[in-house]
Amino acid sequence: MSVQTFELLILGSSAATPTSSRNPTAQLLNIAERFFLIDCGEGTQIQMRRYKTRFQSVNHIFISHLHGDHFLGLPGFLASMHLLGRKNELTIYGPKELEEVISVIHKYSDTYLSYPLRFVATQAEHKELLWEDDKVEVYSFPLQHRIRTTGFLFREKPLPRNIDKYKLEKLEVSFSEIHKLKKGMDAVDNHGNTIRNEELTFDPPPPRSYAFCSDTRFFEGLAESIAGVDLLYHEATFLEDRIDRAAVTFHSTASQAAQMAALANAKHLLLGHFSARYTELDDFLNEARPVFQNVSLATEGRTITL
């Protein structure tokens, strides 16, 4: 069985304001051809064109909080999909006030979308399942920022067991029995003989997971929500020399992001949401690596494949 797609594209990595080389926060995650847009800062649709992604492939948008650098690209993105002839429903997950914000913009701009727009309100009190299908599940979890903010956890569901097709070819087994084997059950061949599952199958790849930790101060309780995650994106707005500024603004430093990755037993850490005051980003890696070795930068255009 081939492994399904699990791929993250970084569209924006700047905090608060864009720079000449960095856009505000936005990411596009593809899991098994389900495309999730995570935050939608200014210029997101331009970045999607630049990196040749398809607007209409996005059916779910997740907004972490209502600071402008995380959602001000949304009204334009919604309008562009209308102008491009979208008909399929689009669901937005975010703070309950977001629906009112978008409704007011549409009201006073006399905008009517050609497709159904559905809002699902998030809460920042506890971890919550937001959406699932047969392959993927998505959770929100609370962060600690100046306003209500959530992170998002995207997780594959366990894949069916892999069938050893060479062994199967030697047996007379019906399609329904093959289906049972994939579920981990024993099967019965056409002659009534029981076939033990382990004789014909082997383990599928383990499910993969991605956690998006938007703006937040460091707090140890976060580790429980993202424990064991394969890929962790964690904001690193400041370096350690501005840790006092990070505390006042409810942001994190690169070292604190690395501490969280270690606490959560993450496999890989992505740093992002860099303050515009920094033009060179190598110091973020230099600060994080003594605490957590497997770390890299979430910079524009970068694609991470799990």
Catalytic residues: 69
| Residue 195: C-alpha distances to residues 1, 72, 175, 219 (Å) | 21, 58, 14, 51
Q: What is the 3-state secondary structure (H, E, C) of the chain?
A: CCCCCEEEEEEECECCCCCCCCCECEEEEEECCEEEEEEECCCHHHHHHHCCCCHHHEEEEECCCCCHHHCCCHHHHHHHHHHCCCCCCEEEEEECHHHHHHHHHHHHCCCCCCCCEEEEEECCCCCEEEEECCCEEEEEEECCCCCCCEEEEEEECCCCCEECHHHHCCCCCCHHHHHHHHCCCCEECCCCCEECHHHHEECCCCCCEEEEECCCCCCCCHHHHCCCCCEEEEECCECHHHHHHHHHHCCCEHHHHHHHHHHHCCCEEEEECECCCCCCCHHHHHHHCCCCCCEEECCCCCEEEC
For 37-99, give the secondary structure using H, E and C: EEEECCCHHHHHHHCCCCHHHEEEEECCCCCHHHCCCHHHHHHHHHHCCCCCCEEEEEECHHH
Question: Partners of 194 in the beta sheet?
Answer: 188
Question: How far apart (Å, rounded) are the C-alpha atoms in residues 71 and 161?
Answer: 40
